[in-house]
Structure 1
Amino acid sequence: MIDARHPFFRPLWRRVAVVAVCLGWGVFEFVSGAPFWGILYTAVGVYAAWSLLYTFKPGDIENE
């Protein structure tokens, strides 16, 4: 779903921003009264945190 090896994700701030937007949107959906979408976006945020922050290795990035 997320290609962590793409050069776009090289800077840390972009990886953190993607995770924050996904988790923030999940919270917004929960507050808005849409638990299905809240669960969905929170799950995407957790997956993004896992792949972009926890298991990310800078040496794996493909050079263009």
Structure 2
Amino acid sequence: MKILDAGHPFYRPLWRRIAIVAVAFLWAGFELSNGETIWAAVFGAIGLYCGWALLVAYRPVIEEADKDG
């Protein structure tokens, strides 16, 4: 079972992948500024995982136009 299917077409644009990672880290910073260290750690971990899956290890799926030739 995949937690995040990076091969889904939704994640193809680079700006979406960057935005997802940025929102996770911004939310972690928000939680940290409110003194919620546990939630900050949770969203920081989500940001790290998304950053790895969507930016570092991301490999775009190349679709075959026509399999019949």
- What one-letter code is carried by the residue in structure 2 that aligns with 1:18? I
Seq. identity, % = 44
TM-score by length of 1: 0.89
Q: What is the CA-CA distance between 1:60 and the residue it aligns to?
A: 6.0
Structure 1: 4+ residue segments shifted above 3 A: none
Unpaired runs of at least 5, structure 1: none
Unaligned runs of 5+ in 2: 64-69
Normalised by the size of structure 2, how large is the TM-score?
Answer: 0.83
Once the two structures are TM-superposed, the CA of residue 2 in structure 1 deviates from its matched residue by 1.3
User: Larger C-alpha radius of gyration, 1 or 2?
Assistant: 2
3-state SS of 1:59 partner: coil
Q: Which amino acid in structure 1 is aligned with residue 27 of structure 2?
A: W
Alignment RMSD? 1.3
C-alpha distance in 2, partners of 1:43/1:53?
A: 15
The structure whose residues are more often helix, as a share, is: 1
Q: Which has the higher contact order (CA 8 A, sep 6+)?
A: 1
Instruction: Report whether the alignment pairs 1:13 with 2:40.
Output: no
